[in-house]
Structure 1
C-alpha cells in the first residue's frame, strides 16, 4: 500500500461529529480533551452543538482536532504515508499529523485563525458557488472580464478538474453566474458558507494571521505534505509564507492530488468528519486507486482492519 492521507477542510463539520469515537477510543478522547484545555471550552460539547459547529471560529478547531485524534487512535495501524494533503484548513491537520506543527501549537493557531476569519467574514459577507464543467479556462476568462469592470469575484477552489468554486461579493457572484450561464455553463451550485474564503475579501484576516504566525517555529516533516496553495511540497522554510497567503489564495487541490498520484499513491484515506475529498479523488484518480474515509466508529474499525491486514502482507 502506497498511502496518500487526506485531511478534511471547513464545510465538512456536522453536529455530533466524533461523538462515538470520543466515547469508544481513549486515545481519541485524550486528544480532544487536550484541545479543550488549550481552547478553554469543552470541544466535544461544541462539536455536538448544531448552532456552534456551523460557526467558523468553532468549526476549525473541531475539524483539526478530530483529524489528529483519529491519527492518534490509529497509532501503529497507520502506515507511513507517501504524502499528505489537506484542503484549506486541512493543511493544518496535515502539518500537525506530519510533525511540522506540534498539536498544541496547531490548535492555538487555528483557534485564532478561526476567530480572524469569522470576524472578517462577518464584516465582509460574500458568496461562493461551485461551477461544474471541464472548461475551467472559460470560467477564468469570464471572471477576468468582470474584474476588469470592477467586479469582485474570483476563482477560489480548484477542487477537481471539473469543479471550480468561485467567490466574492454576493452581488458580483450573482452577475458572474448570469455571465457563466450565458457562456454555456449548465450547472452551478451555491455553497452554504457565510464568507468568500480564499479570495481577497479575507485580506484583513490574512494580515492578522501574518502577525500571529510571526515568531512561530516549525519542525521538519516526518513525511511529505503538499500545499494546495502552491501545489508544491511544504518545507519548514516555506511554511510561514504559504500559510499567510493561504486565506486569500485559491486552493489547487486537484493539482496537488495529481502530484500524489504521480508519486505512486495507490490508496487514499480521508480523515475527518466527511468523505468529500475521497469523492473528489473519484473524479481525479484512476478507478484502480482505492479510496477510504474514517468519519465515525464504524468506518474507523473497518479501515483499521484493512490497514492492519495490509501491514501483515508487507
Structure 2
C-alpha cells in the first residue's frame, strides 16, 4: 500500500462529530482531553454544540484535534504515509501528523488562527460559490475582467479540475455569477461559510497570523506534506512563508492531489468529520485507486481492520 492521507478542512464540521469515537476509544479520548486543557474549554462539549461548532473560532480547533485523534487512535495499524495533504485548515493537521508541528503547538496556533479568521470574516463579510465545469480558464478570465472594473471577487479553491470556488464581497460575487451564467456556466452552488476565505478579504487575519507565527519553530518532516498554496511539498525552511500566505491565497487541492498520484499513491484515507476530500479524489484519481474515510466509529473500525489485514498480508 502506498498511502496518501487526507485531512478534512473547515466546513466539514457538524454537531456531534467524534462523540462515538470519544466514548469508545481511549486513545482518541486522551487526545481530545489534552486539547481541552490547552484550549481552556471542553472540546467534545463544543463539538456537540450546534451553535458553537458552526463558528470558525471553535470549528478549526475541533477539526484539527479530531483528525489528529483518529491518527493517534489508529496507532501502529496506520502505515507511514507516502505523503499527506490537508485542505486549508487541514494542512495544520497534516503537518502535525508528519511531525513538523507538535500537537500542543498546532492546537495553540489553530486556536488563534480560528479567532483571527472569524473576526476578519465578520469585519469583511463575504460570499463563496462553487462553480462547476472543466473550463476553469473561462472562470478566471471573467473574474479578471470584473477585477479590472473594481469588483472584489477572486478564485479561492481549486477543489477538483471541474470545481472552482470563487469568493469575495457578496454583491460582487453576485455580479460574477450573472457574468459567468452569460459566459455559459450552467451550475453554481452557494456555500454555507462565514467569510470569503482564501481571498484578500482575509488580509487582517493573515497579518495577525504572520505576527503569531514569527517565533514558532518547525521540526523535520517524517514524510512529505503537500501545500495547497504552492502545489509543492512543504519544506521546513519555507513553512513560515507558505503558511502566512495561505489564508489569502487560492488553494490548489486538485493540483496537490495529482502530485500525490504522480508520486505513486494508490490508496487515500481521509480523517476528520466528513468524506468531502475523498469525494474530490474520486473526481481526480483513477478508478483503481482505493479511497476510504474515517468519520465515525463504524468507519474507524472498518478501516483499521483493513489496515491490519494489509499489514498481516505484507508480513506473511
Question: Normalising by the residue count of structure 2, what TM-score does the alignment of the two structures yield?
Answer: 0.99
Structure-to-structure mapping, 1:50-129, within 5 angstroms = 50-129=50-129
Question: 1:207-266, CA deviations, whole angstroms, 9 ceiling, x for partnerless residues?
Answer: 000000001000001011000111010111011000000000000000000000000000
Match of 2:185 in 1: 185
Rounded Cα–Cα distance in structure 2 between residues aligned with 1:76 and 1:63: 22
Rounded Cα–Cα distance in structure 2 between residues aligned with 1:235 and 1:259: 16
Question: 1:107-157, CA deviations, whole angstroms, 9 ceiling, x for partnerless residues?
Answer: 000000000000010010000000000000000000000000000000000
Structure-to-structure mapping, 1:141-220, within 5 angstroms = 141-220=141-220
Rounded Cα–Cα distance in structure 2 between residues aligned with 1:194 and 1:57: 11
Rounded Cα–Cα distance in structure 2 between residues aligned with 1:41 and 1:143: 42
Match of 1:312 in 2: 312
Question: Normalising by the residue count of structure 1, what TM-score does the alignment of the two structures yield?
Answer: 1.00
Match of 1:268 in 2: 268
Rounded Cα–Cα distance in structure 1 between residues aligned with 2:210 and 2:58: 21
Rounded Cα–Cα distance in structure 1 between residues aligned with 2:80 and 2:30: 22
Rounded Cα–Cα distance in structure 2 between residues aligned with 1:307 and 1:3: 11
User: How many equivalent residue pairs?
Assistant: 314
Match of 1:136 in 2: 136
Rounded Cα–Cα distance in structure 2 between residues aligned with 1:310 and 1:213: 40
Question: 1:154-187, CA deviations, whole angstroms, 9 ceiling, x for partnerless residues?
Answer: 0000000000000000000000000000000000
SS of the residue 1:51 aligns to: helix
Query: How far apart are 1:312 and its partner, in Å?
Result: 1.1
Match of 1:293 in 2: 293
Query: How far apart are 1:37 and its partner, in Å?
Result: 0.2
1:15 maps onto 2:20 in alignment: no
Rounded Cα–Cα distance in structure 2 between residues aligned with 1:75 and 1:223: 16
SS of the residue 2:15 aligns to: coil
Rounded Cα–Cα distance in structure 2 between residues aligned with 1:58 and 1:309: 37
Rounded Cα–Cα distance in structure 1 between residues aligned with 2:194 and 2:58: 14
Structure-to-structure mapping, 1:35-50, within 5 angstroms = 35-50=35-50
How big is the alpha-carbon RMSD for the aligned residues of Structure 1 and Structure 2? 0.3
SS of the residue 2:119 aligns to: helix
Match of 2:303 in 1: 303
Rounded Cα–Cα distance in structure 2 between residues aligned with 1:193 and 1:157: 13
Match of 1:229 in 2: 229
What runs of 5+ residues in structure 2 fail to find an aligned partner?
none
Match of 2:5 in 1: 5
Rounded Cα–Cα distance in structure 2 between residues aligned with 1:288 and 1:224: 23
Match of 1:258 in 2: 258
